[in-house]
C-alpha cells in the first residue's frame, strides 16, 4: 500500500481519496463568490469534512480561462483566513492551490500541508525550494498556455510531468511527497481531456500516485451540452469513476457527498468482482 506524506501527515492510498474544494475567490468558474465570506467558508469547510473529504484544497486565485490574475498579497488575504479556520476546526490534511511560491510559504506557515501547483513547479521555480524546505507534500499538474489539437497530448503530459518531478527531486523532495495531476481541462481540447482520463494508466509508469480533478469543468459541458457548471455532477461522476478505474488515487471534487456515495458503490462492485 502506498502512502502520500505531507509534512507530519500521512494519507494511505488504499482506496480513492477525496480532496474537497474550497474556492475563496470572486470569479471561480462554478462557485465564484460563494465562500468569500468567512462564515460561509467556515460552513463549507465543516460540510466538506462531514461529507467525507479526506483532504481539503483551498484556493484564492481563479485559474479559469479569462480570469484576472491577482497579486500575492490579495491572494493571501483570501486564502490565509480560510486556512486558519480549517486548521482550527479540522484534523484533515490541508492543501493550498496556488502558483506563487510566496503564497505557498505563507500558507504552510499557517497550517497547509500540501502545495497544489497548477504549473508543476515550472512557472515559479521557487516553489520547489519552498516545498523542500517546509516538508509539504505537492501536487504537480500538467498545464499549457493554450490547447493544440495537433499534438500527442499524452506524450506532452508525460514529458512535462517528468520535468516537474526532476525539479522536485533536485530540490531535495522525496518521492513519497509527490502526486501527479494530468491537468484535465487545462490547455487541452475536450477530446484531449477525455483521452487523458482514458490513459491514466500510462502516467502510472512514471512511478507516482495520480490525482484527477475533472469536477464541473468546461470540457464536461462541451461533451454533454450542460452549460451551468453546478449542473455537471453526472458528467463529473462519470469522468471520476472512469479515472478511478484507470488508476487515479486522489479525486479533487466540489460535490463530496455524491462522490463518497458513488465510490462506496464502486468499491462494493469491485469487491464482488474479486470474490
252 has catalytic annotation: yes
Domain count, the chain: 1
**Residue 6 belongs to a domain:** no
Q: Residue 30's pLDDT is what?
A: 46
In a domain, 3, yes or no: no
pLDDT of residue 32: 46
Whether 7 is in a domain gets the answer no
- Indicate whether 189 belongs to any domain: yes
CATH classification at residue 101: 3.20.20.20
User: Residue 106 catalytic?
Assistant: no
Q: How many CB atoms lie within 10 A of CB 268?
A: 10
Q: pLDDT value at position 54?
A: 98
pLDDT for the residue numbered 29? 45
Q: Is the pTM of this model over 0.85?
A: yes
Q: Residue 244 sits in which domain range? A: 15-274
- Annotated catalytic residue within 252, 260, 270, 274: 252
| 10-residue averages of pLDDT along the chain (275 residues) | 94 97 70 61 89 95 73 93 92 96 98 97 96 98 97 98 98 98 97 98 95 96 95 98 98 97 96 80
Residue 269 lies in a domain: yes
Residue 265 lies in a domain: yes
Q: Would 208 be classed as within a structural domain?
A: yes
List 78, 177, 217, 232, catalytic entry: 217
Residue closest to 8 by CA, chosen among 128, 139, 108, 126: 108
Cα–Cα–Cα angle for 76, 79, 85, rounded to 5 degrees = 130
Give the Cα separation of 199 and 196 in Å (integer): 5
Amino acid at each position: 500500500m502506498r502512502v502520500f506524506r505531507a509534512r507530519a501527515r500521512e494519507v494511505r492510498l488504499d482506496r480513492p481519496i477525496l480532496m474537497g474544494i474550497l474556492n475563496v475567490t470572486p470569479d471561480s468558474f462554478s462557485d465564484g463568490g460563494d465562500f468569500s465570506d468567512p462564515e460561509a467558508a467556515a460552513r463549507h469547510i465543516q460540510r466538506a469534512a462531514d461529507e467525507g473529504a479526506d483532504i481539503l484544497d483551498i484556493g484564492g486565485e481563479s485559474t479559469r480561462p479569462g480570469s484576472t490574475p491577482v497579486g500575492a498579497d490579495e491572494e493571501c488575504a483570501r486564502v490565509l483566513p480560510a486556512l486558519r479556520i480549517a486548521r482550527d476546526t479540522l484534523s484533515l490534511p490541508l492543501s493550498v492551490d496556488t502558483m506563487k511560491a510566496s503564497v505557498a510559504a505563507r500558507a504552510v506557515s499557517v497550517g497547509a500541508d500540501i502545495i497544489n501547483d497548477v504549473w508543476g513547479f515550472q512557472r515559479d521555480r521557487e516553489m520547489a525550494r519552498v516545498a523542500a524546505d517546509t516538508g509539504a507534500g505537492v501536487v504537480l499538474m500538467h498545464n499549457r498556455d493554450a490547447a493544440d489539437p495537433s499534438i500527442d497530448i499524452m506524450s506532452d503530459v508525460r514529458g512535462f510531468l517528468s520535468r516537474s518531478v526532476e525539479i522536485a527531486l533536485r530540490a531535495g523532495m522525496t518521492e513519497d511527497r509527490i502526486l501527479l495531476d494530468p491537468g484535465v481541462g487545462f490547455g487541452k481540447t475536450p477530446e484531449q481531456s477525455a483521452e487523458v482520463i482514458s490513459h491514466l494508466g500510462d502516467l502510472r509508469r512514471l512511478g507516482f500516485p495520480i490525482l484527477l480533478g475533472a469536477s464541473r469543468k468546461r470540457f464536461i459541458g462541451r461533451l454533454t451540452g450542460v452549460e451551468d457548471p453546478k449542473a455537471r455532477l453526472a458528467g463529473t461522476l462519470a469522468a471520476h469513476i472512469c479515472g478511478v478505474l484507470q488508476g487515479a488515487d486522489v479525486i479533487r471534487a466540489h460535490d463530496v457527498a455524491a462522490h463518497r456515495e458513488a465510490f462506496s458503490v464502486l468499491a462494493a462492485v469491485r469487491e464482488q468482482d474479486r470474490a
